[in-house]
Structure 1
């Protein structure tokens, strides 16, 4: 017997092996390889990859051959979102969890040895069973002003000590949205002194975010329980320095913030005065320009490609697909959520001024129902985190996959190999670890992979 594996086949067989995975207790590969399965060193932008796994209380750094070169324990990205490594081997990551609301209780920076350098945990009080306590209430994302999109660019010099943007929750009531207590999305900017300066609350701008009467009715109808996460913002990044603002377009002020709502398929830029400066969605058929892009559904990690990288100034989106959007009751969902649906994912690069689709990536079986991200690399490649199946890959502008990593199962007793987000950093940013040797990995040709112990 032979097992035919295509370039995508290592990861693509997850659905077909669901019974096997369930029998072993893992929602992860059991037959085909994990770790690095493709590596063409001559075509990659090589470095270390920081992996924020969803079900392991640790942050991992791997080399191009998939070997773990550093691990920090005690961090919980399943609550607060991505971990990032800064120059010098400094880790910034969420810590602690208020699980009922998918939040971290603190955002913390530590050095390579784990010594704490900075902490923020005073956004709002919460009431867990042990009593009221202060918490960051941070979820899904955070940024340094010195690293606007959250990842490496030769034009940025990230460091602690400046402004820090946190995506948080705040508990509030607003009958104009729903009758129940909201866990509304709140952006806060923390200064070097640890004090909160600028803030923005999503629910205060519901009238400006493009929701029609039917969507507003569906939002209200769905809000039947306290703790209603009506918008579910899953990313927030500074716009960052860009050519559009340099040319006089105030919508793209570097200090404005791009937010992404998974629940409603809305992408927007919040200006410093609180107004909505720019928006895509929720209905991508509303204009001819958006119709050419096609409906974006349940997207993640929306950001402007940073200055110094190919495509700088364009907006990069991991368009998950699946189901999203508020509207009338439908066969998709009797409650009226999930107005749009599509069973595959896309990565989109969009000119934010003309709304021209500059570049996109999709492939058979490329699909992550949630989480996920995309990072533009200095050589023009894109590092993609296909989060739900635990696959990270680097793809060229010509759409060739030149590096692929399948995250293996996590800690004993844990069920998921999902990856929330992954970032590639230069080897020099982790000086405590010597740059590793790089060994090319060529996947077997389709039809040639043989399972040991079985007949030919």
Structure 2
């Protein structure tokens, strides 16, 4: 009996140990010593991940790195240039930023026009201006493995052009495009234009007339949940790139969707519905977030305006983080979604991805900008655009929060050992 009892006790100990080792509460303990500082709230210091945050404050025109104590470790001298939203820290320590052109002719919120690469002191290593009467670079950029750079562009067409393709408003029309530039030559080497992939059921006498519901790979030019006098129909605001599948993920704010576009096409194929790895040319190979954007009665709408399509790596490869602004509920939500391995975008079926994880809170709301970045221990760094930053655990516990004056595009996480930080050669203290 005594030996049997010892065995039971031993098995119980092993069981408790295994549960503990797999528990979310058994993460490595943080050793950050937090100061008392205005705006800084620490709810569970032991579980806050010790890393750096790249902060882009558009209101103060500042880009800087801060730690979780909110101490600034490095700030870039922008030499008078105005931020046009995104600023990314690259592995080589340079900062790739969207800036505003000096004389822009299209000035929608998030406009840029000037893409620049800065060294740690703010010196310009490379710059490219894309801004004229009918085009302007805006919001976001993405560096490809070959060193080329994707960027968003707004394109403007006349009232006459808009009428011809079946646009229902009597205005000019501004829509989105994606361009790829080779920074070694400043040559545009690939293009995708929303204009080439639209459908409308407004007027059968005009171009692109068809059944929106039966053509989910096409873009309903008259979805128009957000109407404005500028004819700004889509207002894309973010891109990410899947190098394994050669796909572009495009956050389209006014459609409350993510569109997936085949980058393996040639520019000529991207104008059509044929060619590329998926043989759909530049048509959408997948879309999610808002089935009503293509009159699909199946599937639950997730997004109410959205920002920051953030493809995950490592164990979470195949998943994506999205910040849904929640315009109509005054409450934002961060989603982690599992992207289907095989895309099967069809009418009259549920095309929405699986929700792996989500976080919301009555205090979390930003109607514009914002985003989310995952940390190595599974915590999520959230940027609430007009508030500051949150860190939450994967079980939804609020661990850390920083509220400060500003208008924050996104926050990007960096480990102290990341190449980007090492190549900045920051002083240690």
Q: Say which of 398, 403, 424 aligns to 1:401.
A: 398
User: How many Å separate the matches in 1 of 2:226 and 2:40?
Assistant: 46
For 1:170-185, list aligned pairs within 5 A: 170-172=155-157, 173-175=161-163, 176-177=166-167, 178-185=169-176
Distance verdict in 2 for CA 1:75–1:368, change over 3 Å: farther
For 1:307-322, list aligned pairs within 5 A: 307-308=313-314, 310-322=315-327
Deviation at 1:210, TM superposition (A): 9.6
* Aligned residues of 1:85 and 1:92 also touching (Cα < 8 A): yes
Larger radius of gyration: 2
User: How many Å separate the matches in 1 of 2:192 and 2:304?
Assistant: 24
**2:284 paired with 1:276:** yes
Q: Could you tell me which residue of structure 1 aligns to residue 411 of structure 2?
A: 422
User: How many Å separate the matches in 2 of 1:206 and 1:342?
Assistant: 30
**2:141 paired with 1:142:** yes
For 1:14-413, list aligned pairs within 5 A: 34-38=38-42, 40=44, 42-74=46-78, 80-97=84-101, 98=104, 100-101=107-108, 102-121=110-129, 123-126=130-133, 137-146=136-145, 162-172=147-157, 173-175=161-163, 176-177=166-167, 178-191=169-182, 192-207=184-199, 217=222, 219=224, 222=227, 225=229, 227-241=230-244, 253=245, 255-272=246-263, 273-283=281-291, 286=296, 290-291=299-300, 294-305=301-312, 307-308=313-314, 310-322=315-327, 341-353=328-340, 355-388=353-386, 390-407=387-404, 409=405
- What is the TM-score normalised by the length of structure 2? 0.70
Query: Secondary structure at 2:255's aligned position in 1?
Result: coil
- Structure 2 residue runs of 5 or longer lacking an equivalent are 1-35, 201-209, 215-219, 264-280, 341-351
User: How many Å separate the matches in 1 of 2:197 and 2:76?
Assistant: 39
* Aligned residues of 1:79 and 1:139 also touching (Cα < 8 A): no
- Structure 1 residue runs of 5 or longer lacking an equivalent are 1-31, 128-134, 147-160, 242-252, 323-340, 410-416, 437-456
User: How many Å separate the matches in 1 of 2:225 and 2:329?
Assistant: 25
User: How many Å separate the matches in 2 of 1:376 and 1:360?
Assistant: 12
Deviation at 1:434, TM superposition (A): 3.8
User: How many Å separate the matches in 2 of 1:348 and 1:394?
Assistant: 14
Q: Could you tell me which residue of structure 2 aligns to residue 158 of structure 1?
A: none
Distance verdict in 2 for CA 1:35–1:222, change over 3 Å: closer
- What is the TM-score normalised by the length of structure 1? 0.66
Query: Secondary structure at 2:224's aligned position in 1?
Result: helix
User: How many Å separate the matches in 2 of 1:117 and 1:139?
Assistant: 20
Q: Say which of 417, 422, 426 aligns to 1:433.
A: 426
Query: Secondary structure at 2:171's aligned position in 1?
Result: strand
User: How many Å separate the matches in 1 of 2:382 and 2:81?
Assistant: 18
Relative contact order higher in (CA < 8 Å, ≥ 6 apart) = 1
Q: Could you tell me which residue of structure 1 aligns to residue 28 of structure 2?
A: none
* Aligned residues of 1:374 and 1:382 also touching (Cα < 8 A): yes
User: How many Å separate the matches in 1 of 2:63 and 2:370?
Assistant: 16
Q: Matched residue pairs, number?
A: 335
Query: Secondary structure at 1:180's aligned position in 2?
Result: coil
* CA displacement, residues 120-148 of structure 1 (integer Å, 9 cap, x when unaligned): 21x35338xxxxxxx8x2211110113xx
* Aligned residues of 2:149 and 2:181 also touching (Cα < 8 A): yes
Deviation at 1:268, TM superposition (A): 1.1
Deviation at 1:218, TM superposition (A): 6.1
Distance verdict in 2 for CA 1:171–1:295, change over 3 Å: same
Deviation at 1:282, TM superposition (A): 2.9
